[in-house]
Amino acid sequence: MAEAPKEILERVKKLREAINHYRYLYHVEDREEIPESARDALMHELALLEEQYPELVTSNSPTQRIAGAPLPEFKKIKHSIAQWSFNDVFTEEEFRAFDARVQKGVTGSFGKQAQATYAIELKIDGLKIVFTYKNGVLETAATRGDGRVGEDVTQNIRTIQSVPLVLNEPVDIVVEGEVWMGKKALQELNRRREKDGEAVFANPRNAAAGTIRQLDSKIVASRKLDTFIYDIAHISGHIPDTQIEELEYLKKLGFKVSKDAVQVADSNGVIAFWKAWHTKKDRQDYLIDGIVAKVNERAYQELLGYTGKAPRFAIAFKFPAEQVTTVVEEIALQIGRTGILTPVAHLKPVSVGGVVVSRATLHNEDQINRLDVRIGDTVVIQRAGDVIPEVVQVVPELRPEHSKPYRFPKKVSECGGDGSVERVPGMSAWRCVNRTGPAEQRRRFYHFVGKHAFDIEGIGPRTIDLLMDEGLLTNYADIFTLTEGDVEGLEGFAELASKNLIEGIQARKKISLDRFIIALSIPQVGEETARDLSAHFRTLERVRGASIKELQSIEGVGDIVALSLHDWFRNKEHVEQLEQLLKEVVVEKGERRQVGAFSGQTFVLTGTLSALSREEAGAKIRERGGSVSGSVSKKTSYVVAGSDPGSKYDTAQKLGVHILSEKDFLSLLKT
């Protein structure tokens, strides 16, 4: 077994410290400094690392215990049945892996014909309560606490109208359920608190937890809490044979049970339910953060049993979070059309809101300073309401040692001129002093994605402008690292349009050498020169390494073009940009010039051709081994003149170059 690297050990240590800190604030003090979905993301990352390096698992790891401790204001109650929490999964693949473990366990003991089905319930985001009834009468109600000892909140629970004080059957039973506050009730409560000058609750879950811990039960009664009961932990009689029958029995006893629980045959049914409720959840009055899938058959549940902290027969299948944590890998500056500089965090790709994102806006210098965002930081990002993700919070406990605050640079080369930047008076924004630089940069991007270069379907000038204005494009490589989540929610980019855009980009990650050279916008280098370079050198490495003399020796490459090529590939900024781009795309080997009737001959096309376009004419010349140049010289073999020829015709006459009419040219093609 491989020993965990030092950086993994340090990451695990910092994750545990952060999780313990935030879980204590949330479960013990009812304070939320980062959202629950972000805490879930930290816990999930830790669980994956411990799965990869089992030797790092310790008994006091947050993954091995249930958080929370009883508050001193309430009497403590020792649970008669240990309280478990569910393990979480976040993706279809993770759920199918869970299902595979379940089915393997079932068939191993009951035979190959055995098949576990699932009971699915909504995962309500509230406060878990354990209810104990003696002879059908409510005796105690306690919070989960640390799983062994909870807080006695019986008097407060008795005020909730949906909690039966006496059951319909005189049974001894311990049941578990969720206490929650509806969205409408929260709005009403917060209106009253604002009127009274009190702090409002951030969400219904916090409001429910804070209400249950009130010492005055009259306050609890006024806040309209509700419940859903979902499990029998212990009963003096017979427990039903399936989970669905158990829910029906709980309803029969008088408990409020979710009407949306269903039984499905397999994992496909679970995933379909999960997808359906992801779109329906926001229409409910209560908060839903996922579903819970339980093996329906009681016999299979007992066979599968429990781990140290959770049942093996059940799993919480969380919905994609709108706030998660990830790591800032770089902070780049994007130039808008007016020269305004927008800082953008390049992130370790992460799923948020159901899509993968790799960038998030930092807005401006003041926002960076307020959050103190640094390269290497673990941050909370948000993608609420289908908008471009933004960084909303830093998790300082996970900050790398020796990190430095981000400072805006004094110069930005993409601004053009000497690259100078200035802070806009009275604003938090910086901008380029030279305003022509941004326009040139946009034109280079238009050319890069255009028909004669990468030819990316679905990206034109309007899309480039939109992506640049949103801070998503800083250099060419950024195009190929875009994800659906980076663009979904932009004007004109709903889910399908975003998917099509990214598919169009990914389809162009392999490109011919001549098109790649064309895409780079090297001064003086046109399409024909790019084709000549491709045919002569055949690899990008040889083009990059060519001397001025080697370049000058190529037909169609003069002194000015050779110098421009040589200098471009030795410019530090261009080298860095090129290296980034080559990490994302594959440049194919150039093809040798074909041998044919036109081998060694150079053609220049001028005027309008009626029988075929210039592109078609050029293609036919190259098919026969010839080359096409954009200018006339003594080395030119033929000038093909259509109607209204320009100055190239006159130059050919002066130099004595053979001139072909379109009719002559078509006849030559037939030879």
User: Where in the sequence numbering do the catalytic residues fall?
Assistant: 123
Q: Which residues of 58-83 are buried (b: 16+ CB within 10 A; e: fewer)?
A: eeebbbebbbbebeeebeebebeeeb
Closest among 582, 457, 583 to 520, alpha carbons compared? 582
Rounded Cα distance, 14 and 398, in Å:
6
CA distances from 540 to 445, 563, 586 (A): 21, 17, 11
Q: How far is CA 51 from the centre of its chain?
A: 23
Pairing of strands 225-235, 173-181: antiparallel
For tokens 């030795």, name the residue.
Answer: 570
Which residues partner with 133 through β-bridges? 138, 173
Q: Which two tokens stand for residue 317?
A: 């299948």
- Amino acid at residue number 449: V
For tokens 């309007």, name the residue.
Answer: 462
CB 220 within 8 A of CB 159: yes
For tokens 């009689």, name the residue.
Answer: 237
Classify the phi-psi angles of 290: left when phi > 0, otherwise alpha if psi is within -120 to 50, otherwise beta: left
Contacts for 664 with CB less than 8 Å, ≥ 6 apart: none
Q: Which two tokens stand for residue 169?
A: 């059957």
Which residues partner with 373 through β-bridges? none
**Measured CA angle at 289 (ends 286, 295), to 5 deg:** 110
For tokens 């975003």, name the residue.
Answer: 498
Rounded Cα distance, 364 and 667, in Å:
64
SS3 content of the chain, % helix, strand, coil (to 5): 40, 20, 40
Query: What is the three-class DSSP state of 374?
Result: coil
Rounded Cα distance, 509 and 198, in Å:
57
Query: What is the three-class DSSP state of 6?
Result: helix
Instruction: Give helix 92-110 / helix 267-280 axis angle, nearest 10°.
Output: 150
Contacts for 56 with CB less than 8 Å, ≥ 6 apart: 4, 8, 9, 12, 49, 50
Rounded Cα distance, 133 and 235, in Å:
9
What are the start-end ranges of the H helices in 240-342?
Answer: 243-253, 267-280, 298-304
Largest CA distance in the chain: 114
CB 436 within 8 A of CB 296: no
Residues in the chain, overall count: 671
H or E element, residue 667 = helix 662-670
